[in-house]
């Protein structure tokens, strides 16, 4: 899972009066979310001839990074300025998935169901590649990243060769397929248990190719909300004072 969410809060002056000589440091706080594997989730599951790996992404994969011309808040190009943006919605949850098929037949995900569940157990469907492109190229999405409208074409081109796991995914016997899953939860800030589930994956077929046995995979994660407090002297470096989990 890749998600970076940091919400800055209003700085607090750590002295009673600004006119006092030798005023103390300025304190500021910010909130961020931190997600880790839940106990028992190693990021890899093997059963019924399939192995699925979902690594813990700590940074945005390079395939989703796009360099483009920068624009100001009014959409006007900034002379000789380039910026690097992500080819995803700012509120997207991204997973990388590697599936190895050790069965003797083709495994098709056409009948499988993939869902992400938030702590309130709301099921979220994965985006198709077309939906990922549509949300990432919206004028509002581009403006939030300081990009010009011309970036839409670059995002579309960049995602052309990126594979997304979905109903059209076919896993040949003895091969490994790697792709991505993108979700748009209503609230990515919810602390608690998140779960990525894959249902109804066919692992045995009859002579006619119809599924006669199916399996399920669950990957569970714990998301925490962390409040950090920083101290900064006048013209000095910003230093972390404390960090704690909050509801």
CATH number of the domain enclosing 89: 2.60.40.2550
Q: Which domain holds residue 37?
A: 6-246
**Distance of alpha carbon 183 from alpha carbon 195, whole angstroms:** 12
Structural domain includes residue 225: yes
pLDDT for position 2: 57
Degrees to nearest 5, angle at CA 57 with 214 and 31: 120
Task: Give the chain's domain count.
Answer: 1
Cα–Cα–Cα angle for 126, 56, 215, rounded to 5 degrees: 55
Place 14 in a pLDDT band, splitting at 50, 70 and 90: very low
- Give the pLDDT confidence score for residue 31 in this predicted structure: 87
pLDDT in tens, 32-55: 888 999 999 999 999 999 999 999
1 in any annotated domain? no
Range list of H helices, the chain: 129-136, 139-144, 151-159
Is 145 in contact with 152 (CB distance < 8 Å)? Answer: no
pLDDT tens for 130-174 read 999 999 999 999 999 999 999 999 999 999 999 999 999 999 999
Are 75 and 140 contacting, i.e. CB atoms less than 8 angstroms apart?
A: no
Per-residue tokens: 92: 């997207």
- The strand pairing partners of 68, in sequence order, are 83
């Amino acid at each position: 899972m890749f998600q970076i969410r940091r919400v800055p809060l209003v700085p607090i002056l750590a002295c009673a009066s600004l006119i006092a000589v030798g005023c103390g440091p300025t304190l500021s706080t910010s909130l961020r979310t931190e997600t880790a594997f839940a106990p028992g989730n190693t990021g890899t599951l093997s059963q019924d001839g399939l192995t699925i790996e979902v690594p813990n992404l700590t940074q945005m994969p390079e395939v989703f990074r796009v360099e483009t011309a920068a624009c100001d808040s009014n959409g006007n190009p900034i002379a000789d300025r380039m910026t690097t943006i992500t080819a995803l919605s700012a509120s997207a949850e991204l997973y990388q998935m590697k599936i190895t098929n050790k069965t003797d037949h083709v495994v098709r995900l056409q009948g499988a169901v993939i869902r992400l569940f938030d702590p309130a157990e709301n099921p979220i469907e994965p985006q198709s590649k077309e939906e990922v492109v549509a949300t990432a190229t919206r004028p509002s999405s581009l403006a939030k990243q300081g990009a010009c409208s011309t970036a839409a074409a670059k995002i579309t081109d960049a995602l052309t060769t990126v594979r997304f796991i979905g109903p059209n995914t076919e896993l040949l016997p003895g091969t490994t397929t790697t792709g991505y899953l993108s979700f748009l939860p209503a609230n990515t800030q919810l602390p608690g248990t998140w779960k990525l589930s894959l249902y109804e994956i066919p692992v045995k077929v009859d002579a006619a190719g119809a599924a006669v046995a199916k399996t399920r995979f669950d990957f569970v994660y714990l998301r925490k909300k962390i409040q950090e407090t920083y101290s900064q002297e006048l013209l000095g470096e910003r230093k972390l004072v404390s960090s704690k989990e909050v509801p």
